[in-house]
């Protein structure tokens, strides 16, 4: 893989066979596989079918590489990164592992994706914590309402980087500073921004960052990672740990040692042996993000969204429902109109793949999209708008 040419925005679409048959605007639900992912997984499956060699060194090596890559992508040290199966894994690490005591408050947005809510509700019950919802304003996390909601008992804020239904990107810098001022842990569900919105977890004051990679990171379902700030690691005591969290120095010939130290890194929290096919697929997928750069991906996505937004803004039948200001927009664009369900059906009929969320059409624009995709969508909207 290392000697193949660097992927550029001119070449990237050719790695996505689906682009020949449809217009895909649905990475916020699930990302399509590239031919690189398919190739890497297929090759590995063939190797396992042949059963000629043990793949554990490939698995450990791939996991090592991925921790380093994710560290670079989010501005963390690689020892602050661990691999998990999804976003929920990292959220559970926070919910059950953070040093909290009965009566402590966990603040959540009242428009948060359910992943954080159900995880922290269960942890609250088990640990005697209190959940407090911060009231949103105009379907966005309201920073002033958050500050007002903080009490002496508030110890944690859990928040999405980008909101799943309208693409609103939270101002993590300001929010992180407020958390720091009030000595609160800052836990971020990053999945809807990871891969399209650059971030630096350390400069944002994030304590735990969790992201699945099955959406914008274009990896198999069952892939994800988490960040635990160095300063926090020793304070996190989750009710679950595993043998791969102990430092065996990769010597598995003699396993009757029960006094190995846990890794001096976030790897200590990883849960048992790897889903090897998944991490092989994820390694192939992340290459695009290394080659293109997340800031460039954002630029690409936003330029396509700008064209679509311009059309919608000037059409009396449609209305933009997402925030388009520089600090709060993302690669999720949403709009609405009167006959939304019919419009959605018509778009699907034309093989324009996207979803309805909370009264809007959600358009997820990503690195494989191009002007032709936007033209197809605009043409479909034009035809539908003419008859409605």
Ligand X SMILES: Cc1ncc(COP(=O)(O)O)c(C=O)c1O
Query: Is the Cβ–Cβ distance between 289 and 297 less than 8 Å?
Result: yes
**Among positions 19, 26, 34, 88, the unique one binding ligand X when judged by CB under 6 A:** 88
CB 16 to ligand X: min, Å = 21
CB 24 to ligand X: min, Å = 17
Question: To the nearest 10°, the Cα dihedral for 285, 287, 290, 292?
Answer: -80
Which of 74, 39, 276 lies closest to 172, judged by CA? 74
Tokens representing 173 are 């810098």
Stretch that binds ligand X, among 34-42, 81-89, 134-142, 308-316 (CB under 6 A): 81-89
Residue nearest to ligand X (CB): 212
The residue (of 263 and 301) whose beta carbon lies closer to ligand X is 301
Which of 96, 87, 292 lies closest to 209, judged by CA? 87
* CB neighbourhood size of 249 (10 A): 6
CB 364 to ligand X: min, Å = 11
Tokens representing 335 are 């709009």
The residue (of 71 and 224) whose beta carbon lies closer to ligand X is 224
**Among positions 113, 248, 262, 317, the unique one binding ligand X when judged by CB under 6 A:** 113
Q: Does 119 bind ligand X (CB under 6 A)?
A: no
Q: Does 170 bind ligand X (CB under 6 A)?
A: no
Query: Is the Cβ–Cβ distance between 346 and 384 less than 8 Å?
Result: yes
> What residues from 14 to 53 belong to the interface with ligand X (CB under 6 A)?
none
CB 209 to ligand X: min, Å = 12
The residue (of 225 and 311) whose beta carbon lies closer to ligand X is 225
Q: Does 115 bind ligand X (CB under 6 A)?
A: yes
Q: Does 160 bind ligand X (CB under 6 A)?
A: yes
* CB neighbourhood size of 75 (10 A): 16
Q: Does 191 bind ligand X (CB under 6 A)?
A: yes
Gap between the Cα atoms of 110 and 21, Å rounded: 39
Beta-strand relationship, 23-24 and 208-212? unpaired
CB 192 to ligand X: min, Å = 5
**Among positions 86, 154, 323, 330, the unique one binding ligand X when judged by CB under 6 A:** 86
Using a 10 angstrom Cβ sphere, with 0-12 exposed, 13-18 middle and 19 or more buried, the burial of residue 387 is exposed
Which of 198, 270, 192 lies closest to 228, judged by CA? 270
Which of 328, 309, 327 lies closest to 319, judged by CA? 309
Gap between the Cα atoms of 44 and 42, Å rounded: 5
Gap between the Cα atoms of 229 and 205, Å rounded: 9
Which of 115, 65, 111, 53 lies closest to 90, judged by CA? 115
The residue (of 150 and 191) whose beta carbon lies closer to ligand X is 191
The residue (of 212 and 245) whose beta carbon lies closer to ligand X is 212
Stretch that binds ligand X, among 63-71, 82-90, 241-249, 332-340 (CB under 6 A): 82-90
**Among positions 154, 192, 321, 323, the unique one binding ligand X when judged by CB under 6 A:** 192
Stretch that binds ligand X, among 10-18, 69-77, 83-91, 284-292 (CB under 6 A): 83-91
CB 191 to ligand X: min, Å = 5
> What residues from 200 to 229 belong to the interface with ligand X (CB under 6 A)?
212, 224
Q: Does 164 bind ligand X (CB under 6 A)?
A: yes
Residues lying near ligand X in the complex (CB under 6 A) = 86-88, 113, 115, 160, 164, 189, 191-192, 212, 224
């Amino acid at each position: 893989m290392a000697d193949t040419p660097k992927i550029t925005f001119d070449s990237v679409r050719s790695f996505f066979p689906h682009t020949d048959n449809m217009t895909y605007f649905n990475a916020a639900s699930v990302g399509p596989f590239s031919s690189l992912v398919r190739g890497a997984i297929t090759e590995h499956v063939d190797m396992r079918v042949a059963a000629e060699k043990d793949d554990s060194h490939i698995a450990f090596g791939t996991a090592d590489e991925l921790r380093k890559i994710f560290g670079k992508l989010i501005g963390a040290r690689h020892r602050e990164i661990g691999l998990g199966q999804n976003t929920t894994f990292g959220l559970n690490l926070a919910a059950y592992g953070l040093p909290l005591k009965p009566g402590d408050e966990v603040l959540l947005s009242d428009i948060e994706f359910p992943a954080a809510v159900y995880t922290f509700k269960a942890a609250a019950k088990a640990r005697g914590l209190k959940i407090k919802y911060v009231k949103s304003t105009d379907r966005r996390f309201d920073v002033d309402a958050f500050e007002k909601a903080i009490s002496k008992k508030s110890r944690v804020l859990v928040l999405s980087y980008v909101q799943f239904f309208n693409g609103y990107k939270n101002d993590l810098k300001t929010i992180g500073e407020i958390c720091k001022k009030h000595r609160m842990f800052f836990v971020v569900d990053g999945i809807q921004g990871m891969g399209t919105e650059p971030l630096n977890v350390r400069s944002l004051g994030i304590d735990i960052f969790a992201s699945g990679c099955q959406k914008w990171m274009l990896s198999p379902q069952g892939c994800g990672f988490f960040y635990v700030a160095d300063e926090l690691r020793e304070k996190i005591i989750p009710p679950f740990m595993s043998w791969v969290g102990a430092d065996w120095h990769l010597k598995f010939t003699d396993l009757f040692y029960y006094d190995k130290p846990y890794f001096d890194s976030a790897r200590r929290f990883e849960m048992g042996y790897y889903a090897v096919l998944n991490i092989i697929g994820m390694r192939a997928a992340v290459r695009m993000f290394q080659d293109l750069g997340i800031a460039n991906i954002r630029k690409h996505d936003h330029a396509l969204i700008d064209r679509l937004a311009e059309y919608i803004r000037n059409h009396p039948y449609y209305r933009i429902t997402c925030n388009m200001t520089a600090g709060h927009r993302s690669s999720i664009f949403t709009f609405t109109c009167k006959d939304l369900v019919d419009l959605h059906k018509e778009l699907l009929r034309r093989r324009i793949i996207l979803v309805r969320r909370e009264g809007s059409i959600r358009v997820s624009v990503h690195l494989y999209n191009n002007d032709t995709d936007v033209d197809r969508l605009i043409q479909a909207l034009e035809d539908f708008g003419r008859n409605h």
